[in-house]
Copies of this chain bind each other. A is one copy, B any other.
Amino acid sequence: MPDLVDIGMGRTARRAYGFDDVHIVPSRRTRSSREISTAWQIDAYRFEIPLVTHPTDAIVSPAMAVRIGQLGGLGVLNAEGLWARHACVDKLLVQLASVVGEAGETAAVRLLQQWHAAPIRPELLTEAIGQMAQAGVTVAARVSPQHARDLAPGLVAAGVEILVVQGTIVSAQHVSRDCEPLNLVEFIASLDVPVIAGGVGDYRTALHLMRTGAAGVIVGHGAGASTSTGEVLGIGVPMATAVADAAAARRDYLDETGGRYVHVIADGGMRTSGDIAKAIACGADAVMLGEPLAAAAEAPGNGCYWTAAAAHPSLPRSQVTKVPESAIGIDTLLFGPSSDPRGTVNLFGALRRAMAKTGYSELKEFQKVGLTIRS
């Protein structure tokens, strides 16, 4: 039962929790960490680690998507970002990093706004996707609900194997008088590739998105140190509760369909490897990581991080931040070895060890690990 609180006479609010409020508690056997599997499979695609990248230009270039794929995860290119609009993105990003340092974050946001005002150039997208497809990794790209219909055919033709339809907040029922909104059911049915859609923050929207035929549902909107959806819109998604609710929707939808399993992908609230373990423990099948990967030497952002919401023309909801440390190889970031004891390096080695310490050998089982709330 949702835990309702009377915040005033006749007005209730749901009590909700973030990953920070939750701790994993070992309470069974322990296991050797060499005998743990962190494998994850969605549709026909299998990954050694349950990692999907947040589709921000700060961390995903075509080359980085390939590297992530080679390392066992899923890199998602933003098909409406800089790589879709500009030929020399690397040069722009060098400029951006120097503006952050010299002129401050607002100036950097202004630059991103300008660059995103340029039109999407299909030939750039085709080239970028082609580069990923050629490398033999699973190819994924992100579109917004607004541009999904226009961009999807070209992306699939270029080689996209998994399409991510993602806005800050997405619903199965978008209402508009001016233009016909995206009908996700029809859109997904019309595609030959599986769709991951989101983000959502509650049980109902998660269930509705599952019913559209999506293969995966993204929970959250990539909240991290740089995002400010709460300050700007008042909207917040306490991730532990949101992930658990979406997992409940997954169970109910599995029952209602007699066996269709839609994956829950947690996006946001994860800063350390411990948070990744907590996301799985709350019910996620995989995690969508942004900020924690910005320290990678291979990340195109040169040690800066922002989300797509930073480029909104009138209401940006992400800062451009410098990550404290950078230039760590992405392989080390994901698998170690680490000499940094703060949970920011060896992210998936740590997940493996958390599972070992609590005696679980598969991700699916680890979703049942004991949790405590620190009150």
- The reply on A9 being an interface residue by CB < 8 A is yes
What copy number does this chain have within its complex?
A: 4
- The reply on A98 being an interface residue by CB < 8 A is no
Residues of B within 8 A of A169 (CB): 26, 30, 357-358
Segment among A73-81, A189-197, A335-343 that sits at the interface with chain B: A335-343
- The reply on A260 being an interface residue by CB < 8 A is no
- The reply on A5 being an interface residue by CB < 8 A is yes
A259 vs B288: C-alpha distance when bound (angstroms): 51
Residues of A1-31 whose CB lies within 8 A of B: 1-3, 5-18, 21-31
Residues of A239-265 whose CB lies within 8 A of B: 240-245, 247-248, 251
- The reply on A102 being an interface residue by CB < 8 A is no
A179 vs B32: C-alpha distance when bound (angstroms): 9
Segment among A61-69, A124-132, A155-163, A200-208 that sits at the interface with chain B: A200-208
Shortest distance between the CB of A279 and any CB in chain B (Å): 9
- The reply on A230 being an interface residue by CB < 8 A is yes
Residues of B within 8 A of A240 (CB): 7-8
- The reply on A123 being an interface residue by CB < 8 A is no
Q: Are B25 and A14 in contact (CB under 8 A)?
A: yes
Q: Are B24 and A234 in contact (CB under 8 A)?
A: yes
A241 vs B9: C-alpha distance when bound (angstroms): 8
Q: Are A248 and B11 in contact (CB under 8 A)?
A: yes
Q: Interface size (A, Cβ < 8 Å)?
A: 117
- The reply on A277 being an interface residue by CB < 8 A is yes
Q: Are B171 and A374 in contact (CB under 8 A)?
A: no
Q: Are B342 and A315 in contact (CB under 8 A)?
A: no
A contacts with B: majority SS? mixed
Segment among A135-143, A210-218, A347-355 that sits at the interface with chain B: A347-355
Given known contacts A11-B248, A247-B8, A313-B337, is B23 in contact with A204 (CB within 8 Å)? no
- The reply on A110 being an interface residue by CB < 8 A is yes
- The reply on A166 being an interface residue by CB < 8 A is no
Q: Are B372 and A14 in contact (CB under 8 A)?
A: yes
- The reply on A237 being an interface residue by CB < 8 A is yes
Segment among A39-47, A51-59, A316-324 that sits at the interface with chain B: A316-324
A12 vs B240: C-alpha distance when bound (angstroms): 11
- The reply on A365 being an interface residue by CB < 8 A is no
A248's nearest neighbour on chain B, judged by CB, is B9
- The reply on A118 being an interface residue by CB < 8 A is no
A151 vs B343: C-alpha distance when bound (angstroms): 31
